[in-house]
Amino acid sequence: MSKIYDVVILGAGPAGLAAGLYAGRSRLSTLIVEKGKDGGQIAITDEIENYPGQTVEGESGPSLIERMTQQCEKFGVERVSDVINDVVLEGDVKKLISAKGEYCAKTVIIATGAFSRPIGCKNEKEFMGKGVSYCATCDANFFEDFEVYVVGGGDSAVEEAMYLTKFARKVTVIHRRDELRAAKSIQEKAFKNDKLFFMWDSVVEEVNGDGILSSMTVKNVKTGELTTIEADEDDGMFGVFGFIGTLPNSKIFEGKGVELDERGYIPTDADMHTNIPGVFAAGDIRVKSLRQVVTAAADGAIAATQCEKYIGEME
């Protein structure tokens, strides 16, 4: 059988890395399994203003996460790059299974976070990476001096729209309501930005083009009126960025004994216990009211200290 770790943490977003830091400092043998880049969702944002103590000019998601990773590894946390596609969570030895093999542990912290919710329009999949994106930091520079549309009206949508104005000639926020949901301080900045425009009460119905996005149909939800937006003739293309919330990364836990709510999030108590002894959940994957870096990191810290307690009680 493979090595049995004290803790295996699934996901290296802010929750997983904070859990790793606390578990490592507690001298628990700890492994973090991550399928992609460290940082999860925060790795795709350019600006973080609301993480306490984050006043470093120009701090971005990736730079903050780089320091979190270094801090975590300093305490001896092992790392592996792998995609977990099955789990066995009941019993004293938990198993996380991938195509490469399995990872065993006395405790598991599920920190698999969430992913961007699709815009939900016709042909969206076909134009992903060909004009449709969910990551301004990754794709903004493809739209240098082009027109860009942002779908959404919350904090992320408006902040990312402002970021996109550094690249695009013009950025239009398409929002299904007649006012933004973003925090007032964010709205104030947005309304002062002269490259930022708003299309209220509207949803994107369909995106089109010949291999690259060059037209879309937008519907006014109040009047039902359909408007076709065509790319400027000289440009031949434009971008559409979707920021309309997230969905949980919890498919692999379906039918595996961990309780999920009707949307797929994992309910926990205040100490991050799931319904299975020795299995904890932290960060955006949890049922919670505020999904942010600060709450994800706090969850991770609590989950790791509870792993230590659980292992202590096992022995």
Ligand X SMILES: Cc1cc2nc3c(=O)[nH]c(=O)nc-3n(C[C@H](O)[C@H](O)[C@H](O)COP(=O)(O)OP(=O)(O)OC[C@H]3O[C@@H](n4cnc5c(N)ncnc54)[C@H](O)[C@@H]3O)c2cc1C
Binding stretches for ligand X (CB under 6 A): 10-16, 33-36, 40-42, 44-45, 48, 50-51, 83-84, 111-114, 156, 160, 243, 249, 252, 283-284, 291-294, 296
Tokens found for residue 119: 């815009």
* Structure-token match 């092992």, residue found: 78
Buried b (16+ CB within 10 A) or exposed e, 203-241: bbbebbbeeebbebbbbeeeeeeeeebebeeeeebbbbb
Question: How far apart are CB 308 and ligand X at their closest, in Å?
Answer: 20
DSSP state at residue 26: T
CB of 150 to ligand X, least distance (A): 11
Please identify which residue in the block is written with the tokens 């379906």: 254
Minimum CB–partner distance for residue 300 and ligand X (Å): 7
Q: Which is nearer to ligand X, 68 or 229 (CB)?
A: 68
The C-alpha atoms of residue 251 and residue 264 are separated, in whole angstroms, by: 8
Token output for 58: 């120009």
* Phi then psi dihedrals of residue 215, to 5 deg: -155, 155
Provide the β-strand partners of residue 199.
174
Amino acid at 172: T
Q: Which is nearer to ligand X, 236 or 264 (CB)?
A: 264
- The distance of closest approach from Cβ of residue 57 to ligand X in the complex, given in angstroms and rounded to an integer, is 15
Nearer to ligand X, 231 or 301 (CB): 301
Q: So which residues are the catalytic ones?
A: 135, 138-139
Please identify, using beta-carbon distances, which residue of 41 and 172 lies nearer to ligand X. Answer: 41
- In the complex with ligand X, the residue whose CB is nearer, 13 or 209, is 13
DSSP E strands in the chain: the ranges are 4-10, 30-34, 78-81, 84-88, 94-98, 102-110, 114-116, 132-133, 147-151, 170-174, 196-199, 202-209, 213-220, 226-230, 239-242, 246-248, 279-281
Measured from the CB atom, the residue of 22 and 229 that comes closer to ligand X is 22
135 neighbors 39 (Cβ within 8 angstroms): no
